[in-house]
Amino acid sequence: MGSAYRMFQRFFSHAEPTASVRNLVRLDLINALQQPSCSLCYLAHHKSLRYVETLLDTAVIDVEKRDAWRHAKGLCHWHAHMATHIPQSHSSLAMLYEDLLQHEMDQLDPLASAAPASYAPPKRRKRLLARRIQRWLQSWQQCRPCPVCQLWSEQERLHMTVLLHDWHEPTLQGAFAQSSGLCVSHMARLIAHGSSHVHLPAVLMAQRERLHILHDELREFIRKQDYRFAREPYGSEADAWRRVVGLFVGTRWFS
């Protein structure tokens, strides 16, 4: 992967973000909080998409990163399918995955070949095969995480840090108060990440308020399923059934 990828890594890998990084991340958060879903799910999708595009543009020519790509066995299910929907990705995907496929075939050869010594006694052949299978399984289990997931998880932590640090900013607090709140999974990650942060209880109180509103909408939606009230028009509760599913499993966008 090339300089653009490294730039992303450098930019977002600050343990203590500088004021300018914090301002940019806060603006990102405020924008994401205006979307009709968990803001961190929204950012996960849109930032990941940019990383995947950058990776496809640069990984093919960056020999230095080929080993890392191999050890991760390419992208995870989510990002690989995201990549297949990117226009002009076909040629990069073909080259990167051809390399993986070749590597996989090479790894499989010792297991598939009939004879580490067909002349050897059956017991010895069995032991040799068991040892090779063990080695193969170990290398499979030591598979590194998807490079895009890894990069986003660093940035996600940065966004959570800024959400907590800058909670006193009225624009951020106001945007959160008007948002859908965080999904359950991002709420759990925020609690784990900022367990000792002084602003955590205030963020969670705002989150509780968002959950309370969704709960009311859900109850209203359920009430209107009763035939006695079925003629009443739907309001904001019309899609509460869908939003509560997104709350528990997060939101993903499909191309």
Give the footprint of Zn ion on this chain (CB under 5 A): 38, 40-41, 76, 79, 146, 148-149, 183, 186, 250
For the CB of residue 90, give the shortest distance to Zn ion in the complex, in Å.
Answer: 19
Q: Is the Cβ of residue 80 or residue 129 nearer to Zn ion in the bound state?
A: 80
Residue 58 · residue 2 · CB < 8 Å? yes
Q: How far is the CB of 155 from Zn ion (least distance, A)?
A: 13
User: For Zn ion, which is the closer residue by CB, 22 or 37?
Assistant: 37
Counted residue by residue, the chain has a size of 255
Cβ closer to Zn ion: 142 or 225?
142
From the CB of 144, what's the least distance to Zn ion, in Å? Answer: 11
Closest CB 125 distance from Zn ion, rounded Å: 40
DSSP line for 119-149: TS-HHHHHHHHHHHHHHHHHHHHTPPPPHHH
C-alpha closest to that of 33 among 155, 154, 143, 167: 167
Q: Determine contact, residues 52/82, Cβ cutoff 8 Å.
A: yes
Residue with tokens 């009763």: 226
Gap between the Cα atoms of 160 and 164, Å rounded: 6
Q: Which is nearer to Zn ion, 79 or 224 (CB)?
A: 79
